[in-house]
Amino acid sequence: MATIIKTTEQIEKMRIAGRLASEVLDYITPFVVPGVTTGELDRLCHEYMIKVQGTIPAPLNYAPAGYPPYPKAICTSVNDVVCHGIPGAEVLKNGDIVNLDITVIKDGFHGDTSRMFFVGTPSLAAKRLTEVTYECMWLGIDVIKPGLRLGDIGHIIQQHAESNGYSVVREFCGHGIGEKFHEDPQVVHYGRPGTGELLRPGMIFTVEPMINLGKRDVRERTGKLADGWTILTKDRSLSAQWEHTVLVTQTGYEVLTLSAGSPPAPEILQDKKSAETTLVDGR
C-alpha cells in the first residue's frame, strides 16, 4: 500500500478529527488521580466521545490480522506497559505513570494522539523518562519538512533518547493515518539520517516514540493475564510514550492533534530554535 497524499478537503477533516482526539485527553485529565480504575477512565472517555463529540472510538473492536478484537475505547498503558494496555479493574496508585492513547473517527477520518500522565507524585526517574520522551517526540516532529526522509525523524529521536541513557522500542512505530487507522508509511523511531521514504506535502502520519528506562526489549503479556494486545518491557522497567498526528506542509509541518489543554512544546525545542536563529544571524 502506497503512502496516500491527502487532498485539501481530507486535510481539513483530519484537522477536525485530530483536535477532537486531543480534546478527549483535555476532558479526562482531572480524572487521572490515585484510586481511579483504568476501566473508569475508559468509560468516561467512551461516553464523552459518543455523547458529547459525536465521534466513534476507533480502537473498539479493532481487529487487525493476527489480533483478537480490541475490547475497549482507549488504551491505558501503566508503568512497564509499553503500549496497547487494555483498561479494566487496575487501580491507579500514587507514583504511577500512565499513557492514555486516544483515536476517534469523525466523518470517516481518524484523529490519533496520546499523552503521559503522572498519578499523584511521580518518582524522579519516572518524571525524567516522561520528560525526555516528550522531547524525543517534539524533536522528531520539528525536523519534518518536504525533501527530508523518514530516517531523519527516527535518527534524532534515537540520538536524544540514547544520549540520556534510555532505549527506543523497535517493534512498534508511527504510521500513516487518514480514512484508515493504519496506513503507509511506517514511521520508526530510530535509524540513519537520509534514509527511508521522502517526505512530501500532504503526507499525514503519527510520531509516537516508545522510550524505555531500561533495555529496549519487549514482551507480550502471557499466562492468565494474556489478552493478545498488552506489550510490556521485558526487564519490567518503566516505559513512556507520547503521540501526535502531523501533516507535512509545503514548508514544514502542522501538528493536527493540538487543543486548548495540550502541553506546550518543550523548552529544548525553543533552545534549539534560538540556537538556529543565532547561527543564521551570526550573533
Phi, psi at residue 16, to the nearest 5°? -65, -50
219-231 pLDDT per residue, tens? 999 998 899 999 9
State the sign of the Cα–Cα–Cα–Cα dihedral 84, 225, 91, 161: negative
Whether residue 268 is contained in a domain is answered as yes
Measured CA to CA in angstroms, residue 20 lies from 114, 146, 186, 251, 278 at distances of 12, 27, 24, 25, 37
Instruction: Output the pLDDT for position 272.
Output: 73
User: Does 189 reside within a domain?
Assistant: yes
17: domain CATH number?
3.90.230.10
Give the structural domain span for 148: 8-281
Tell me whether residue 243 is in a domain.
Answer: yes
- DSSP β-bridge partners for residue 177: none
Please check whether residue 1 lies inside any domain of the structure: no
What is the reported pLDDT for 6? 98
**pLDDT digits over 27-38, tens only?**
999 999 999 999
Total domains, the chain: 1
Mind listing the pLDDT tens digit for each residue in 238-252?
999 999 999 999 999
Sign of CA dihedral 5, 7, 8, 13: negative
Asked whether residue 276 carries a pLDDT value surpassing 60, the answer given is yes
Which of 12-26, 95-109, 128-142, 269-283 has the weakest average pLDDT? Answer: 269-283
Q: What is the pLDDT of residue 224?
A: 83
User: What number of residues does the chain have?
Assistant: 283
Q: 110, 94 in Cβ contact below 8 A? A: no
